[in-house]
Structure 1
Amino acid sequence: MNFEYMKNFMDSLTEWIIPGNSVVIYKDGKKVFEYSSGYSDLEKRIKKTGEEQLYIYSCSKVATVTASLQLYEQGKFLLSDPLYEYLPEFKKMYVKDGDRIKAAENPITIRDLFTMTAGLSYATNTPAFEKARKLTDGKMDTRTVIKCLAEEPLLFEPGARWNYSLCHDVLAVLAEVVSGMRFSEYMKKYIFEPLDMNNSYYHTPNDVIISPQYIYEIQDTKNIVELQQKEHTSGVVKRAYGNELVFGENYDSGGAGIITTVDDYAKFAAALANSGTGLNNNRILSSATVKLMKTNQLNEAQRKTMNWRRLRGYGYGLGVRTLIDKAESGSNSSIGEIGWGGAAGATIIADTEEKVALFYAHHMLNPQEEYYQPRLRNVLYSCL
């Protein structure tokens, strides 16, 4: 193995416009490469070390679905179960139909939550969220927020197509209900602690300082999920601390809530690459469940609606992209390679065939995913 290409690629990103980045790579259960380039704080000229606490946004989803699959393994639910059997507020749903609203014909299933096919959106400036803020005096506990979310009409009939949304936030509430534990506490006990992820949190202790985030100076939207899909337009500026996808101090965001370090989350990636067993031999999922997780769950009609350019050749498993067509993707990775990205430039990759895992982050919103993610993946496999 030779990681000179990876080092050069990361340096090229920080020479371009990314303030700083870090990566950790595991192969066959051993750390084989770690590297940081650029700055964690441009203004203060503080060098990136890889030890910074970061918002990983939607990379949190991979841990959320892993935790939920632990409960699936215990027989707490079936993927085919209607969601309303566990969250009754989702029993009587309505669907947008042009200018009118009609009753949904099909219930949302738990599989729909895992696969982003429930008909939900990422809209948060809605009557449902305003109601939740009033009911909770702004503290926005997870259960109340999701109860209010259920009052919003769906974008489409459950199961009709794929749409990136708050599905995994709802999945976190399902995990709370069937486990009897607050989601952040469940994650600490059954994901973070078993994998020795000692610097991973949902709500940081007072002595933990989160690394600065950056953003392009001129943007035509404030929605960070929309920004994730845009190309850059200007120079970078430091952004105020905070994660607006964590809606209040009592909200445990299954979709975007984890604060961690590159080294910590790479341990989680390594466990997935080792078919569910961590570096310390603690098992968080069975190999059979990891196989299910990485199996494409979308039919052809659904997959056509998952039309982001960087996902060409990928299907969608249980909460992860999964490579199903090397020719279409142009990828040199393995069939069944899984992963996801986050709004500030975090990326997780896990491959059970090669037993390789990567976690990378650069902590800048509007992270240029279309450019860096496919290249990062290809450079990784060229180094092995």
Structure 2
Amino acid sequence: MDFKPLSQFIDRITSWRIPWAEVLVMHRNETVFRYRSGFADLEEKTPIGESHLFHLYSMTKILTCAAALQLVEKGTLLLSDPLADYLPEYAEMTVRKTLPNGGTELVRAERPITIRDLFAMTAGFSYDIGAPSIREAAERTNGRVPTREFAAALAKVPLLFEPGTQWNYSLCHDVLAALIEVVDGRRFGEYVREEITGPLGMRDTVFDLSEDQQGRLAPQYEYNDELGKAVRADGNGFRLGTEFESGGAGLFSTVSDYARFLNALTNRGTSADGVRILSPASVELMRTDHLTESMRGDFNWGHMAGYGYGLGVRTHISRASSGSLSPIGEFGWAGAAGCLAIIDPESQLTVMYAQHLLNSQEPYVHPRVRNAVYACL
């Protein structure tokens, strides 16, 4: 294995507009390559280090879906169950319909939202975190917005379409976190700690930082085209309240820590040291393409060509369409500040890539990182 082209690519993007980047490659449970370049703090010229934490943003979604699949394995949930069986505020949803004259009207939803819809982003939600009912929940709870309160507030927002008929990237996995709280009884963060991160030895994957972790949090940046440089942009805009444990975008982690979780999925649910968090059957279900033909046009992001959507993850379905060097069945997801997960059971390959830049250049960076990794093997 010669990873020189991958390190050269990392050097190129960190000399371009990405303040820092790090990649860790595991093959057959062994770390075969790790490389980092750039500055965690551009102002202080602090090199990025192994223990720096960063926002995972939407890469949280993979772990949230794994947590919910644990409850499916226990018989607590079925994917076909109506969401309203557990969260009754979702019993009578409305859908915003567009009229022939261009106007809109609200009508009663004909289909119930199912648990599968939450996993597969087909519930009809949007990603409007500023909806009036959500703002009201923030005011009513004095800025706390517990996860369960968030889900109750979102239920007041009209759906974009009939559940199960279209795909739309949305707040589905935040509701999935609230569902876990309701059926299990623990707070979502507590469940995650006791059932996934604790058993896997992931001490730095958390919703709330300790004092030590706060000191290791890497500054976050956003590239300013007018200034021609990256400027500080700290904070997580998806953290809607002090008690909101966002299943869609709330976790912090490190490269080493989150790679433990990803590698367990590469091993079809069991870590290198024998800790099982999911069955192989659940991992297969997660990476199965759940899009119908009518939904495929909704999942139309250019850099996702050749990929379908599973239970919280992209999943590779056509090499001809993707142009990717990864095999069919490679899966994973990414985050708003640019981190990327590549999970590949067939190749026994796990890749954890990280950076901390909003307007992350994901369509440019991620396909190139992936192809460089596979070319180096």
Q: TM-score range by the shorter chain?
A: over 0.9
CA–CA distance in structure 1, aligned partners of residues 130 and 343 of structure 2: 34
Residue of structure 1 equivalent to 2:290: 297
CA–CA distance in structure 1, aligned partners of residues 344 and 194 of structure 2: 25
Residue of structure 1 equivalent to 2:21: 21
Say if 1:22 and 1:50, in contact at 8 Å, map to a contact too: no
Gaps of 5+ in 1: 220-232
Say if 2:204 and 2:213, in contact at 8 Å, map to a contact too: no
Residue of structure 2 equivalent to 1:225: none
After superposition, the C-alpha distances for 1:161-215 in whole angstroms (9 at most, x for unaligned) are: 1111000000001111111110000111111111111111111112322110000
Gaps of 5+ in 2: 99-103
Normalised by the length of structure 1, the TM-score is: 0.95
CA–CA distance in structure 1, aligned partners of residues 204 and 230 of structure 2: 28
2:85 aligned with 1:85: yes
2:47 aligned with 1:54: no
Matches within 5 A, 1:52-201: 52-98=52-98, 99-201=104-206
- Secondary structure at 1:208's aligned position in 2? helix
Q: How many residues align?
A: 370
CA–CA distance in structure 1, aligned partners of residues 229 and 112 of structure 2: 46
Which piece of structure 1 moves more, 131-140 or 349-358? Answer: 131-140
Residue of structure 1 equivalent to 2:353: 360
Q: CA deviation at 1:280?
A: 1.7
Say if 1:195 and 1:279, in contact at 8 Å, map to a contact too: no
2:258 aligned with 1:265: yes
Say if 1:23 and 1:50, in contact at 8 Å, map to a contact too: no
CA–CA distance in structure 1, aligned partners of residues 9 and 224 of structure 2: 24
The 3 A distance-change label for structure 1 pair 234 and 150 is farther
Q: CA deviation at 1:38?
A: 0.7
Residue of structure 1 equivalent to 2:101: none
Q: CA deviation at 1:278?
A: 0.8
Q: CA deviation at 1:218?
A: 5.4
After superposition, the C-alpha distances for 1:81-131 in whole angstroms (9 at most, x for unaligned) are: 110001101000000012111110100010000000100011012111122
Structure 1's consecutive aligned runs of 4 or more residues displaced over 3 angstroms after TM superposition are none
Say if 1:312 and 1:328, in contact at 8 Å, map to a contact too: yes
Equivalent residue letter for 2:374: Y
Say if 1:35 and 1:50, in contact at 8 Å, map to a contact too: no
CA–CA distance in structure 2, aligned partners of residues 354 and 17 of structure 1: 32
- Report the identity percentage: 48
Normalised by the length of structure 2, the TM-score is: 0.96
Q: CA deviation at 1:234?
A: 4.4
CA–CA distance in structure 2, aligned partners of residues 177 and 218 of structure 1: 45
2:232 aligned with 1:238: yes
Q: CA deviation at 1:329?
A: 0.4
Say if 1:215 and 1:366, in contact at 8 Å, map to a contact too: yes
Residue of structure 1 equivalent to 2:316: 323
The 3 A distance-change label for structure 1 pair 259 and 119 is same
